[in-house]
Structure 1
Amino acid sequence: MIVLGIEAATPVAAVAVATEGKILAERMVNNRRTHSVNLLPMIKDSLADAGINKEQLTGIAVSIGPGSFTGLRIGLSTARSLAQVLNLPLAGVPTLDALAYPLTGHAGLVCPLLNARKNEVYTALYHSTGTGQECLVPARAAGIQELLQLLEGYNEQVTFIGDGLAEYIGVIKSHMGARAGLAPVCTSFPRGAAVAELGLQLLQKGAVSDPLTLLPYYLRESEAELKWRERCRVNE
């Protein structure tokens, strides 16, 4: 299989092309342009870098969240459109799975942190098995103190990874001391290569998503939805 991976759940846009045991091409940008501007040129360039055309693709993988509401909508709409136009199977990859994936085989636990704003992070907890990673704590939006209390139940080294780490590194180190490990800055954002590789694994297992019904995994309501609910409550 040759799978195109699309990651747009964070401020970074990333695209990769992967096949069994090999990443053929990968591009990532972290600039002020919107994902709607970045993604299609990056996809075109990644296919060219891989030396293939779109007709040679055999699958599409896309990060489904949690993450930026706008970014997820752009990433999902791009992937769903490509899957339908090219008549390719589509796989939805949880964003925190993709973020933690490069640390597969790492000793101890892996705790991804994505900035969720409102003094919260999107987080989960993983540990490596003989065949990959197992999710011990499913994805959730949580305050940092809530997360640290949860981690007290695990007497293991925890490696933190993600763009939410920068804001909370002080309180994490203060609370956990030597038990807290910090992943390199180059792993701060989910990689397109991780989305492509995980998507390839899902497709090989037959875990195909319907492009007409695959939706972003937001975890919580958007600001617009909250304001709408508040207006409805006031007008009751």
Structure 2
Amino acid sequence: MLLAVETATDSASVALGLPGADPLEESIAGARRHAASLLPMIQSLLRRAGASLADVSGIVLSDGPGSFTGLRVGASLAKALVHARGLPLWVAPSLLVRAAGVAREDAVILAVAGALRGEVYAAAYRFTPDRIYTELAPSVRRPDELAGLGLAPAVVVGEAPPEIVAVLEAWTGRRVVGPPDGSPHAKRLLGLVGRPGGARLVEAVSEWEPVYGRPAEAQARWEMVHGRPLPDSVGSPG
């Protein structure tokens, strides 16, 4: 069975199951709770499934963009499990996870998340029976800039400040699907494994890092003081 972990936002979730099967999922709200809650949530899922970590055959992780702290917590946990158990690791953009929750066949789904400074993280995907096509790769965009990219989204999903949501709704003529349906959920990750254009297998786990999208202020301060990129928190000095 696969273990999915989603920590890109202030809410975190974990799910257990196989692609195509009904998963078990648990979630918590509050960014400051991620580090303390992930392992107990996983242990609770395993108890509910009557399973143990020995039954987990792989890890699926939402790898950003999103909360700097949340992504590092999720990545640290995933790497620790992968290295300890010799498991494969699949990752998928958090914006794709949002889009998967509202996917319509052969329709363009625009997924967004607030990126501060009046901008959003944005990506667009088209879901077909055979594969998922990336129409716009995850990137930082101004909301008015999106209108000039030639996209014609059937659904807009995600969360952003009200003034940005208003711009997106005026442009598309569609209501932005916000939380909870518009949040990334770990159970959606399970359905992206093995699907062309979905989750990708990480070949070099020790070298892999989440896609933060934009350095957090804490990261920028750390790198300014130390004069080097922030190292991975698993097995590396801080």
Aligned to 1:133: 132
**Inter-partner Cα distance in structure 1 for 2:48 and 2:8:** 23
Q: Larger % of helix: which?
A: 1
**Inter-partner Cα distance in structure 1 for 2:212 and 2:59:** 20
Aligned to 1:216: 210
**Inter-partner Cα distance in structure 1 for 2:59 and 2:225:** 39
**Which residue identity is paired with 1:63?**
S
The DSSP-based 3-state class of the residue aligned with 1:35 is helix
Candidates 157, 160, 163, aligned match of 1:164 = 160
Structure 1 pair 166/196, CA: closer, same or farther in 2 (3 Å)? farther
**Inter-partner Cα distance in structure 1 for 2:116 and 2:175:** 23
**Inter-partner Cα distance in structure 2 for 1:76 and 1:170:** 33
Using the TM superposition, give the Cα deviation of residue 166 of structure 1 relative to its aligned residue in structure 2, in angstroms: 4.8
Question: Aligned pair 1:207/2:206, yes or no?
Answer: no
**Which residue identity is paired with 1:174?**
A
Using the TM superposition, give the Cα deviation of residue 7 of structure 1 relative to its aligned residue in structure 2, in angstroms: 0.5
**Inter-partner Cα distance in structure 2 for 1:143 and 1:95:** 19
Question: Aligned pair 1:147/2:146, yes or no?
Answer: yes
Structure 1 pair 185/64, CA: closer, same or farther in 2 (3 Å)? closer
**Inter-partner Cα distance in structure 2 for 1:134 and 1:105:** 13
Structure 1 pair 184/121, CA: closer, same or farther in 2 (3 Å)? closer
User: CA RMSD for the aligned pairs?
Assistant: 2.7
**Inter-partner Cα distance in structure 2 for 1:206 and 1:148:** 29
Aligned to 1:185: 179
CA contact (8 A) 2:118 2:164 kept: no
**Inter-partner Cα distance in structure 1 for 2:73 and 2:219:** 18
Segments of 5+ residues of structure 1 without an aligned counterpart are: none
Which aligned pairs between 1:59-74 and structure 2 lie closer than 5 A?
Answer: 59-74=58-73
CA contact (8 A) 2:60 2:91 kept: yes
Structure 1 pair 45/184, CA: closer, same or farther in 2 (3 Å)? same
Aligned to 1:38: 37
**Inter-partner Cα distance in structure 2 for 1:215 and 1:137:** 21
Aligned to 1:9: 8
**Inter-partner Cα distance in structure 1 for 2:200 and 2:134:** 20
Question: Aligned pair 1:22/2:21, yes or no?
Answer: yes
**Inter-partner Cα distance in structure 1 for 2:89 and 2:203:** 5
Structure 1 pair 219/134, CA: closer, same or farther in 2 (3 Å)? same
Segments of 5+ residues of structure 2 without an aligned counterpart are: 227-238
Q: Using structure 1 for the length normalisation, give the TM-score.
A: 0.84
CA contact (8 A) 2:19 2:190 kept: no
CA contact (8 A) 1:25 1:47 kept: no
**Inter-partner Cα distance in structure 2 for 1:60 and 1:96:** 18
- Bigger mean CA offset, 53-62 vs 210-219: 210-219
Aligned to 1:93: 92
Q: Using structure 2 for the length normalisation, give the TM-score.
A: 0.83
**Fraction of identical pairs, as percent:** 29
**Inter-partner Cα distance in structure 2 for 1:206 and 1:167:** 34
